[in-house]
Amino acid sequence: MRAFYSDNVGNFLNTSEDTILGQLSAGYNSARFYQLLSHQIEAWYEQIQILKEVFSGPLLNSKAKDWYILLEYSIPRRQKRIDAVVLTRHSVLVLEFKIGAREYQTADKLQVEDYCLDLRDFHAGSSGLTIVPLLVGTKARNSKVPSPTKDGYVKPVHLSNKDELGDVLLHCAFEYVDWEVQIDPLAWSSAPYQPTPTIIEAAQALYAGQNVREISRSHAGIENLTATYHAVSKAIESAKKNREKTVCFVTGVPGSGKTLAGLNVVHNRQLHDGDLGVFLSGNGPLVRILREALARDFADRNNVSRADGRREVSTFVQNVHDFLGAYFENKSEAPVDRVVVFDEAQRAWDKEQSIRKFRRHFSEPEMLLEIMDRHKDWAVFVALIGGGQEINSGEAGLAEWGRAIAEKFQNWNIMISPELKEGDHSTGGKMLFKQIPTNLQVQEEERLHLKVSVRSFRAEKTSDFVASLLMNEPSAARGIYDKYLSDFEIGFTRSLDQAKQWLMERKRGWRRIGLTASSGARRIKAYGLEVKNQLDYVCWFLNGPEDVRSSFYLEDVATEFSIQGLELDWTCLCWGADLRYDLSSGWEFRNFRGTKWQHVRNIRRKEYILNKYRVLLTRAREGLVIWVPKGDYNDSTRLPQFYDFTANYLSECGIPELTCN
């Protein structure tokens, strides 16, 4: 049930307030919301009265009785509901009421605009339609009808008080008329809604009780996600039934939903004896951001403090180092969780890094499997593998998992995707075993590979494009760009101001913008951007545009360490001189030390630099601009030749240069 109440305006006027309130209350209860509060009923009652008064006035003579009205219309991605949607014959009017409001708050404007953007992007019935956001502050002094924008579908936010709402609706209905469009209200209201949530939104929705299919697009991506979930679920059920231990390796291209698949497995209580599993990650920023996002959402939904919310969600997502600290030293204690999902498992520490950090003389893969092996009967360990995303020294990679299993855990069942046996670009060319040991039970399961990107709802082939670009295959990259990336905005510029302006022009609703850069791009400091500063991850990713610490302000830059596993809607990648293109040799690698750039000759460190840019080039959901500095002949650390060939190479790959305004 997408809307709690829906009917044409004529029937709406002839239906009593109590009857409509009854339908809204019934819908509220059936949607598994918590206790219906009296102030919500009062707000509904006033909204109904306002709408009845509006439609009984001048609008009635404009054939508005044939329009269609939907109350409490669901936006699953946001776990929100639109107060009212009015379907004229030619446009969609989206109304957000603020009962008693005397001023129009920025957050409320962004909220109603974001609803409209969601309808444009994810609701099949709204595709190609004019959508108008209206914020109704019932006691506001003035109404405001804005000038049109470039966007042909979502218009700017209209502001109205209670008394002038009828006039504003009339203006919208006749100002935005597309005579070629005739909206069928029943078809519109029943059209599929296929959102692509961010990982933060997905985690919040799963924790609130929704499932993956409810919050994701019904295309190849969600089918792939569902198949992977069922494959892991079957492995868990088999382990429980046969009292055995299984490790599953899930692979996938960047943005394919590996983290989402893992969160879905962890949150399904039926899979692991009524308790939640645990989601582990060595990615500190990801853990902190997900925890805080879950806590804020839980607090808002349950009317409790954020401190209470943080306590509630603290065991759902854990830092792998904390998990190891809790169990490794106590050799006799098995963890309470029988299902453990480890995100970005290829980044687990090797033995040398474990010794340096915690004086533990074992690699993290070996320690994690040893801890789960303490269970007397069954256990399942799910390792999520992101190929080509090892970005720091001390990360063990796939080979260490294979070594630990072959030497210490031959009694475990091993399930892998075919990609881990063959090695392809989604695994960074790496394999779990160079040759599968004869003493292991290894089962290939093609459903354990996620091959379709669900990060960008505008283009599913961005990871292939990025792979070709970084492998010095410009012709292949251009071919992918020309064939598949028409809906994904991408460009490059030599001006930081132009890049920022490009982002600001696309900042609408709660769609998030931000600057990213490699941690090795040390000399963008000359342009006012510092990659060495400690970023406040939570504020940067979660806080609104009014907060100077947020990504919206375009003052702080997120490096690969801050943003891996997360995403923004629109990003600017600030290209550094640590990865530069040369016409004769292809990519060249540099490390800035002291006052000079130094050659990087170590093969593994070269891979790290490529992987940094792989991460940064695949963080955008809707579009990406790449800023390549012009350099400065008077600064030996920023000479133009460090950047010019890179800009030319990006153009050769098909990326257009932004035109001057």
* Angle separating helix axes 258-267 and 220-242, nearest 10 degrees: 40
> The CATH number of the domain where 244 resides is what?
3.40.50.300
659 within domain boundaries: no
Write down which residue in 146, 169, 190 finishes a domain.
Answer: 190
pLDDT digits (tens, 9 = 90+) for 298-342: 888 888 899 998 988 887 889 998 999 889 888 888 998 899 999
Q: Is 646 helix (H, G, I), strand (E, B) or coil?
A: helix
Residue 548 CA to residue 534 CA, distance in Å, equals 15
Residue 348 CA to residue 125 CA, distance in Å, equals 45
pLDDT band at 219 (very low <50, low <70, confident <90, very high): very low
Looking at 257-266, 424-433, 499-508, 641-650, which range is the least confident one? 424-433
Instruction: State the pLDDT at residue 202.
Output: 80
* Chain CA centroid to CA 146, Å: 31
304 within domain boundaries: yes
Q: Is the pLDDT of residue 536 over 80?
A: yes
> 23 and 4 in contact (C-beta within 8 Å)?
yes
Q: Does residue 554 share a domain with residue 524? A: yes
Phi, psi dihedrals of residue 535, rounded to the nearest 5°: -80, 140
Q: Is the pLDDT of residue 153 over 80?
A: yes
199 within domain boundaries: no
513 within domain boundaries: yes
pLDDT band at 216 (very low <50, low <70, confident <90, very high): low
Instruction: State the pLDDT at residue 316.
Output: 81
Query: In 3D, which of 627, 304, 290 has the Cα closest to residue 490?
Result: 627
Q: Does residue 520 share a domain with residue 630? A: yes
pLDDT band at 456 (very low <50, low <70, confident <90, very high): low
Angstrom CA distances, 60 to 65, 294, 490, 517, 596, stand at: 6, 45, 47, 56, 74
pLDDT band at 461 (very low <50, low <70, confident <90, very high): confident
Residue 242 CA to residue 529 CA, distance in Å, equals 56
Looking at 49-58, 161-170, 375-384, 458-467, which range is the least confident one? 458-467
Query: In 3D, which of 616, 585, 613 has the Cα closest to residue 601?
Result: 585
Q: Does residue 139 share a domain with residue 286? A: no
Instruction: State the pLDDT at residue 116.
Output: 94
Q: Is the pLDDT of residue 19 over 50?
A: yes
14-23, 388-397, 572-581 — most confident range: 572-581
What average pLDDT does this structure show over 627-643?
98
Q: Does residue 547 share a domain with residue 425? A: no
Residue 118 CA to residue 97 CA, distance in Å, equals 18
Q: Does residue 172 share a domain with residue 238? A: no
241 within domain boundaries: yes
What's the whole-model pTM score? 0.85
Q: Does residue 334 share a domain with residue 235? A: yes
Query: In 3D, which of 502, 510, 506, 501 has the Cα closest to residue 545?
Result: 510
The percent of residues in the chain predicted with pLDDT above 70, rounded, is 91
Instruction: State the pLDDT at residue 218.
Output: 42
Q: Is the pLDDT of residue 150 over 70?
A: no
Q: Does residue 246 share a domain with residue 140? A: no
Instruction: State the pLDDT at residue 220.
Output: 45
pLDDT digits (tens, 9 = 90+) for 575-584: 999 999 999 9
Q: Does residue 475 share a domain with residue 420? A: no
Range of the domain at 618: 462-652
Instruction: State the pLDDT at residue 37.
Output: 64
What average pLDDT does this structure show over 441-458?
82
604 within domain boundaries: yes
Q: Does residue 176 share a domain with residue 31? A: yes
Higher pLDDT among residues 458 and 365, named by residue: 365
Instruction: State the pLDDT at residue 419.
Output: 87
Instruction: State the pLDDT at residue 20.
Output: 96
Residues paired with 134 in a beta bridge: 95, 158
**How many folded domains does the chain comprise?**
3
> The CATH number of the domain where 558 resides is what?
3.40.50
pLDDT digits (tens, 9 = 90+) for 343-382: 989 888 888 888 888 888 888 999 999 999 999 999 999 9
- Count other Cβ atoms within 10 Å, centred on residue 100: 10
What average pLDDT does this structure show over 187-191?
92
Q: Does residue 226 share a domain with residue 135? A: no
* Chain CA centroid to CA 585, Å: 36
214 within domain boundaries: no
Q: Is the pLDDT of residue 509 over 70?
A: yes
Computed over every residue of the chain, the mean pLDDT equals 88
124-133, 208-217, 266-275 — most confident range: 124-133
Structure tokens at 391: 């970005």
284 within domain boundaries: yes
* Chain CA centroid to CA 36, Å: 30
H helix or E strand, kind and range, residue 166: helix 165-175
Q: Report, in angstroms and rounded to the nearest whole number, the Rg of the chain calculated over CA atoms.
A: 27
Write down which residue in 406, 428, 450 finishes a domain.
Answer: 450
Q: Does residue 168 share a domain with residue 233? A: no
The percent of residues in the chain predicted with pLDDT above 90, rounded, is 59
Q: Does residue 633 share a domain with residue 511? A: yes
What average pLDDT does this structure show over 511-519?
97
Write down which residue in 424, 450, 476 finishes a domain.
Answer: 450
